[in-house]
Structure 1
């Protein structure tokens, strides 16, 4: 909600700066002319050496807006409990020609409206946590695997290392978020199971129970396919050995 007077709406009503040491921080201030006449403005502060205001004065056409940028200079020391007593004052007056310093003086019947603004220091946004990074890493493993399972790919394709997903369309992620996979290559199903199992064992992964169940179902299905493929390979090998032995057999002498 904006702070207002008869001439101007001032937004935001409180200047908030995410406080970071040794870094300049800016906060935009939007001034909206509510009148049908041109309004001149001037921005003042109790700490002029600490803040830079651009522009610190100007005119706003009728029913129009302008933006003022308030920049706090880099600070070397943080105030106790991030408390700030600085204040700003936005003065406004109706004009018909250029701006003069005398028009903002409340003398001789000159009508000057004022809006007072407080300053607040807030905590800066936290960087991405390790939990989020490991969660995203798990998604990069699971999304291509889910695509393969949905398409009915066999374990033999996974073991051969020939499966490559390029520019995959958006697919449903087992961990509950829609993502895209670009040029993701899977080498072996055993590698996937090891990576997924390791990710689940870490403290970083704390998904809902249903998400864990979905992942377990995928791993179980892949394990079943792998065992089936191994059994088929064993039977084929036995048949080849039997055929080779028959081809090498010769009749015994009477």
Structure 2
């Protein structure tokens, strides 16, 4: 393998993995060191040839049954998965609605408490203004006292 000028050659390493068959093979296997006279006797003997044919035909029928079972299991699992997803979605919606209602209740409670505090503040302001308006201020008392002293000097 020679690289020509102007051409790019890239090397790739490939990984090969061996995966054995899951179930044992339904076809009876001969040992790898089979002698040819025995193989010819299997072919000549009709009974052994017939049993081999039956075993192969059964092995071909079983995968169809297994595949139909597998498809039914797959469809059942798919239905269960979709049902679980729908239940999950329903639970999420219920949780969202419960959280929304809880937050709405908390908001209304906070607004009511805020309104109550504002009313109490207004009442306190009115009480403070009444106490100041109803009494005499210190400045007025001092001025009246000074006027009284001056009037006493002039009268004497």
Q: TM-score, normalised by structure 1?
A: 0.20
The answer to which structure has the higher helix fraction is 2
The answer to which structure has the higher strand fraction is 1
Larger radius of gyration, structure 1 or 2?
2
